[in-house]
């Protein structure tokens, strides 16, 4: 005892001036009740009326042993005899030797008799047990579902795999489908011992002590102020966007310290109930971990459920939903039936469109990876609110100043200005005929355009920097600060391709297949060649749209309907945009298949490398496809058309399209608006409408085929099997849609200030669409962990840089801001005076050049005007560029340089000022690490003291 006290004293001396946790809490010793305080992570994981269903206390005296499993791989057929359910086991088609091949089994120190013993009683008439959530005994929870066809020839692999799963400690039970006679379900349950074993191997962090925030001096100092602030807030109106925490106990923050689980120190952790200690998502993740590492043949590479799904041994593998998402009783009076019902009522319903998302509940049900996606989507949507308001203000400013614009007035009053024909079959026209066109252009091309472009460039930086802080808070709340991804397994395709060449893995120290550098470089070159080929396909599609616009322009000019003939420019642009949209959506289908082919050709080593490579290709393909025509209109339309008397033509037939005298910005705006609206409508239909139609059709086929009676209540595994599986690419498509929208919102925002508003409206719908899809239309995905949105953060930063460059060129080249600016300060009536609207008097006449059409015939005028800065025909050098042209060109180049350097400087300064992690959070993380060490030490000391009193023995060894 003396030696033990000395060791404790030496431990405290090593701590130096630090205060122990006992002194902090003003307690002499930690009482057992202190460590057994209920943790919110457990006590509030399940709704109240779920406790009697899924939370069965484990009593060693009364616990029933698991049902005996047959040593052979069997199918279970369902019969009815005298109102009782009898399960008869039948041998599978293609007689297979049922004797276990011990060489294929994974040798573990597990007692098979303990895992396969028969239960003492079955709770067949238990009304509290929901159909499809438990085994037939009504006690063991279903953690995972495997689906296979009885007619599948892969019987041997499946039987070996299932026997090895039992050897790993899992319990299996088979059940036939009620909707398809060829489908068999394998229900998997992970017992307590198996969960503990793999939780320790996977370093899953579990709660062991309630957090003590009152020990922080800042909390003490701010306690009184926070109390007063809460009293004041109670008198203020309640925020309607917040969810009601009384109806959502799961939204309470987890308030416990966590540590990697260890069976040797199990007494440290707060285990009130073994059935609820590991959450459903954690249980599913542990079972998935076992499924991925269990062999089905006697080879080191022949393992994992992914390979069995690929070769057709199993049809599907998924964790089950926690029951139905609808109830006959209102949730306010009867509470939630399960987490899925809770998510539907408080998240996925359309009536919740204005509410904050229950991120903690989403994370607990779907995992951290999907939770981070919805957190990022919600953050992005919230940050769009100020951008949408500023964009709407800029649009309204253009709307209110539309009639008072000097340029619009001059165009509308130019009744005697004759303009040159804009196409081969066109005739001369009067400038005042384009009055409406000029006013609409002013909506998007006004003095607020530059301000909004700078604002959106800064907004993109602020959005990304504050998202880093938000992500840090989420990773802290979700206990992901110290989490590191485990070493990923190799992809089966990689192993099959490079199994002959091996090298030692520097991390695991085990030999693994190796891809030579020359082979990798050759495949990468082929992939890059495929990417450039697809780019050439995009250029060809854009060229086809340009030719179509030229052809349509001549047809609309000669149209019999006077309204179309008068507004042939709007008709040409609108038709071209619609055709371009059809081409874009058609090429997207091709791009997905090409990206999939090229990614598989590269043979990535792991699944994460495959996903990153595929995501980059999909983003690159769709970004080029979506924005190529927009770049053409912004920077090439009307730039190479030539001048009257010397026009450039395609195939010596069609004259290149010109910009309107008011500029090409209205064409760019129309292109962005139509494509953005149509693409959002199409994506929303494909995300929700298509799964709804598929699920409806599958239910109709089952009823029509007579495979299911109308009054039969399907178990949960049958319901989940009839749902649509989650996209094979995971969250790639979800992120890709939002990232492309982010690019559309920022890259050409100077030409379309309403883009943030349209994006905001779409995202409000998108959140509920995705929520409804995940909760009701898709099978439950495997809960996966992640600490960030992955490669998409780098893509967003790249888009932010491109947006600054593009907006600088749009303002300088596409809009008329620079020509008006040069005229006002160099050639206008207000030279060397204060800039104002009057200073633009005569600007329209200054920006039009004169062309000599030859002798007057049939009363037609000899001279016409066109948009350019060229000398008149009677000058010494006719049709040469004037000095004003070079002044405008120099001003445009200077504006691009100044704008880019200014905005990039502001972006860098803001990024420097905003730290990635809040200072208070950083201090809290460091403080909690220190307190955890203290508490772990005192908990171990207390445990040793209890053991000494219990056994009456003295411990003379030091605590490690």
- Taking 50 as the threshold, does the pLDDT of residue 761 lie above it? yes
pLDDT of residue 657: 76
Mean pLDDT along residues 450-475: 90
pLDDT of residue 487: 61
Q: Check: CB of residue 712 under 8 Å from CB of residue 178.
A: yes
Grade residue 28 by pLDDT with cuts at 50, 70 and 90: very low
Grade residue 232 by pLDDT with cuts at 50, 70 and 90: confident
* DSSP sequence for 809-859: HIIIIISSHHHHHHIIIIISTTTTS---GGGGTTHHHHTEEEEE--S--TT
- Taking 70 as the threshold, does the pLDDT of residue 857 lie above it? no
Mean pLDDT along residues 526-554: 83
Q: How far apart are CA 14 and CA 544, in angstroms?
A: 77
Q: Which residues contact 446 (CB under 8 A, 6 or more apart)?
A: 394, 397, 398, 401, 405
Question: What is the percentage of the chain residues whose pLDDT exceeds 70?
Answer: 76
- Taking 50 as the threshold, does the pLDDT of residue 863 lie above it? yes
- Average predicted confidence (pLDDT) for the chain: 76
* 174-192 pLDDT tens trace: 989 888 888 999 999 999 9
pLDDT of residue 385: 94
Q: Which residues contact 563 (CB under 8 A, 6 or more apart)?
A: none
Least confidently predicted of 46-55, 396-405, 504-513, 720-729: 46-55
Helices 435-444 & 665-684 angle (0-180, nearest 10):
70
Q: Bigger pLDDT: 20 or 617?
A: 617
pLDDT of residue 564: 66
pLDDT of residue 186: 94
pLDDT of residue 954: 54
φ, ψ (nearest 5 deg) of residue 780: -70, 120
pLDDT of residue 481: 78
pLDDT of residue 484: 66
pLDDT of residue 233: 67
Q: Bigger pLDDT: 654 or 131?
A: 654
Q: Bigger pLDDT: 9 or 535?
A: 535
Q: Bigger pLDDT: 782 or 59?
A: 782
Q: How far apart are CA 367 and CA 286, in angstroms?
A: 13
* DSSP sequence for 726-774: PPTTTTHHHHHHHHHHHHHHHHTTTT-TTHHHHHHHHHHHHHHHHHHII
φ, ψ (nearest 5 deg) of residue 611: -65, -40
Geometric angle at alpha carbon 151, from 148 and 156, rounded to 5°: 70
Grade residue 245 by pLDDT with cuts at 50, 70 and 90: low
DSSP tag of 187: E
* CA separation, residue 868 to residues 420, 565, 824, 839 (Å): 12, 25, 17, 20
Number of H helices, E strands in the chain: 34, 18
Mean pLDDT along residues 415-420: 85
Q: Check: CB of residue 789 under 8 Å from CB of residue 368.
A: no
In terms of average pLDDT, the best of 155-169, 421-435, 721-735 is 155-169
Mean pLDDT along residues 442-465: 87
- Taking 80 as the threshold, does the pLDDT of residue 369 lie above it? yes
Q: How far apart are CA 452 and CA 807, in angstroms?
A: 10
- Taking 50 as the threshold, does the pLDDT of residue 360 lie above it? yes
Q: Bigger pLDDT: 769 or 490?
A: 769
pLDDT of residue 855: 61
pTM for the full predicted model: 0.80
Look up residue 85 and give its two tokens. 């359910």
Grade residue 72 by pLDDT with cuts at 50, 70 and 90: very low
Grade residue 392 by pLDDT with cuts at 50, 70 and 90: very high
* 289-338 pLDDT tens trace: 899 888 888 766 677 888 888 888 999 999 999 888 888 888 877 778 88
* 896-933 pLDDT tens trace: 999 999 999 998 998 888 888 888 787 777 877 777 77
pLDDT of residue 711: 56
Grade residue 710 by pLDDT with cuts at 50, 70 and 90: low
pLDDT of residue 300: 61
pLDDT of residue 192: 92
Q: Check: CB of residue 804 under 8 Å from CB of residue 457.
A: yes
3-state secondary structure of 670: helix
Q: How far apart are CA 435 and CA 412, in angstroms?
A: 5
* DSSP sequence for 249-294: GGGSPP-EEEEE--STTGGGS--S-HHHHS-HHHHHHHHHHHHHT-
Mean pLDDT along residues 546-563: 74
Look up residue 479 and give its two tokens. 């206990």
Grade residue 24 by pLDDT with cuts at 50, 70 and 90: very low
Beta-carbon count within 10 A of 7 CB: 14
Closest CA to 672 of 607, 733, 745: 745
DSSP tag of 433: G
Q: Check: CB of residue 195 under 8 Å from CB of residue 278.
A: yes
* CA separation, residue 396 to residues 196, 393, 402, 625, 656 (Å): 62, 5, 10, 32, 34
* 575-621 pLDDT tens trace: 878 888 888 888 888 888 888 889 888 888 887 888 888 999 989 88
Buried (b) or exposed (e) across 812-851, using 16+ Cβ within 10 A? bbbbbbbbbbbbbbeebeeeeeeeeeebbbebbebbbbbb
Q: Bigger pLDDT: 858 or 94?
A: 858
Q: Which residues contact 116 (CB under 8 A, 6 or more apart)?
A: 66, 67, 68, 69, 166, 171
Grade residue 788 by pLDDT with cuts at 50, 70 and 90: confident
Grade residue 220 by pLDDT with cuts at 50, 70 and 90: low
In terms of average pLDDT, the best of 46-55, 392-401, 507-516 is 392-401
* 83-124 pLDDT tens trace: 333 333 333 333 333 333 344 444 343 333 332 333 233 233
Q: Which residues contact 569 (CB under 8 A, 6 or more apart)?
A: 437, 660
């Amino acid at each position: 005892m003396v030696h033990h006290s000395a060791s404790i004293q030496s431990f405290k001396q090593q701590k130096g001036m630090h205060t122990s946790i006992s002194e902090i809490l003003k307690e002499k010793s930690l009482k057992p009740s202190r460590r057994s305080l209920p943790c919110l992570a457990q006590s509030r994981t399940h709704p109240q009326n779920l406790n009697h269903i899924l939370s069965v206390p484990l009593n060693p005296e009364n616990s029933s042993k698991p049902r005996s499993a047959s040593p052979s791989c069997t199918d279970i057929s369902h019969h009815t005899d005298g109102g009782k359910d009898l399960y008869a086991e039948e041998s599978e088609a293609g007689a297979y030797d049922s004797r276990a091949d011990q060489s294929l089994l994974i040798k573990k120190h597990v007692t098979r008799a303990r895992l396969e013993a028969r239960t003492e009683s079955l709770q067949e008439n238990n009304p509290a047990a929901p159909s499809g959530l438990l085994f037939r005994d009504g006690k063991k929870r279903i953690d995972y579902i495997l689906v296979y066809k009885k007619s599948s020839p892969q019987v041997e692999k499946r039987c070996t795999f299932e026997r090895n799963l039992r050897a790993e400690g899992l319990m299996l039970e088979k059940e036939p489908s009620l909707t398809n006679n060829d489908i068999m379900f394998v229900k998997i349950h992970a017992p307590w011992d198996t969960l503990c074993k793999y939780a320790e191997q996977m370093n899953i962090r579990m709660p062991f002590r309630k957090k003590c925030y009152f020990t922080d001096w800042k909390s003490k100092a701010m306690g009184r102020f926070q109390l007063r602030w809460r009293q004041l807030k109670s008198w203020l109106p309640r925020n309607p966007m917040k969810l009601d925490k009384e109806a959502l106990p799961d939204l309470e923050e987890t308030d416990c310290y966590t540590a990697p689980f260890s069976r040797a120190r199990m007494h440290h952790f707060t285990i009130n109930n073994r059935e609820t200690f590991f959450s459903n998502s954690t249980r599913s993740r542990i079972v998935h971990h076992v499924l991925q590492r269990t062999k089905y043949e006697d080879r080191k590479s022949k393992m994992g459920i992914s390979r069995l799904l690929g070769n057709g041994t199993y049809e599907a593998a998924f964790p089950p939903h926690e029951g139905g998402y609808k109830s006959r009783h209102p949730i306010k009076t009867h509470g939630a039936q399960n987490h899925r019902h809770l998510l539907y009522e408080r998240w996925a319903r359309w009536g919740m469109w204005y509410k904050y998302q229950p991120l903690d509940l989403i994370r607990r049900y779907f995992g951290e990876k999907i939770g981070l996606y919805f957190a990022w989507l919600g953050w992005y949507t919230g940050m769009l609110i100020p951008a949408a308001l500023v964009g709407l203000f800029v649009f309204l400013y253009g709307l209110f100043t539309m009639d008072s614009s000097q340029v619009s007035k001059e165009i509308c009053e130019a009744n005697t200005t004759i303009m040159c024909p804009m196409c081969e079959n066109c005739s001369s026209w009067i400038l005042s005929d384009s009055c409406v066109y000029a006013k609409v252009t002013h909506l998007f091309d006004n003095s607020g355009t530059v301000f909004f472009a700078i604002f959106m460039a800064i907004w993109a930086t602020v959005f990304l920097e504050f998202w880093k802080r938000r992500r840090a808070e989420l990773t802290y709340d979700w206990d992901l600060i110290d989490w590191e991804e485990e070493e990923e397994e190799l992809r089966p395709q990689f192993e099959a391709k490079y199994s002959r060449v091996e090298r030692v893995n520097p991390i695991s120290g085990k030999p693994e297949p190796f891809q030579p550098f020359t082979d990798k470089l050759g495949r990468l070159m082929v992939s890059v060649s495929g990417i450039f080929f697809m780019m050439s396909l995009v250029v060809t599609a854009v060229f086809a749209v340009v030719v179509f616009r030229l052809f349509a322009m001549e047809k609309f000019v000669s149209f019999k309907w006077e309204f179309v003939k008068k507004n042939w420019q709007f008709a040409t642009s609108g038709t071209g945009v619609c055709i371009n949209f059809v081409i874009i959506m058609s090429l997207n289908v091709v791009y997905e298949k090409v990206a999939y082919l090229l990614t598989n050709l590269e043979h990535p080593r792991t699944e994460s490398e495959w996903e990153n490579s595929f995501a980059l290709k999909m983003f690159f393909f769709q970004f080029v496809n979506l924005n190529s025509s927009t770049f053409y209109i912004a920077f090439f339309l009307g730039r190479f058309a030539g001048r009257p008397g010397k026009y450039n033509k395609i195939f010596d037939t069609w004259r290149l399209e010109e910009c309107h005298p008011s500029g090409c910005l209205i064409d760019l705006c129309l292109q962005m608006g139509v494509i953005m609206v149509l693409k959002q409508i199409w994506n929303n239909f494909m995300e929700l409408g298509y799964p709804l139609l598929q699920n409806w059709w599958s239910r109709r086929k089952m009823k029509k085929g007579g495979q299911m009676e109308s009054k039969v209540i399907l178990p949960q595994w049958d319901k989940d099997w009839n749902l649509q599986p989650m996209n094979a690419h995971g969250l790639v498509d979800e992120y890709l849609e939002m990232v492309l929208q982010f690019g559309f919102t920022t890259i050409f925002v100077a030409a379309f200030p309403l883009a943030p508003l349209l994006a905001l409206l779409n995202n409000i719908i998108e959140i509920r669409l995705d929520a409804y899809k995940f909760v009701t239309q898709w099978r439950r995905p495997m809960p996966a962990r992640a600490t960030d949105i992955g490669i998409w953060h780098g893509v967003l930063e790249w888009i932010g840089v491109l947006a600054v460059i593009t907006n600088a060129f749009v303002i300088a080249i596409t809009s008329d801001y620079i020509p008006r600016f040069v005229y006002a300060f160099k050639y206008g009536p207000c030279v060397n005076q204060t800039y104002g609207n009057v200073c633009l008097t005569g600007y329209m006449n200054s920006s039009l050049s004169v062309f000599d059409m030859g002798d007057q015939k049939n009363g037609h005028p000899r001279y016409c005007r066109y948009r350019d800065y060229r000398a008149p025909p009677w000058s010494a050098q006719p049709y040469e560029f004037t000095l004003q042209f070079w002044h405008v060109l120099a001003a445009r180049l200077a504006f691009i340089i100044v704008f880019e350097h200014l905005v990039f400087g502001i972006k860098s300064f803001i990024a420097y000022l905003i730290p990635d992690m809040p200072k208070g959070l950083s201090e809290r993380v460091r403080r909690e690490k220190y307190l955890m060490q203290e508490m772990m030490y005192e908990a171990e000391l207390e445990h040793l003291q209890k053991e000494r009193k219990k056994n009456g023995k003295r411990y003379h060894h030091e605590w490690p």
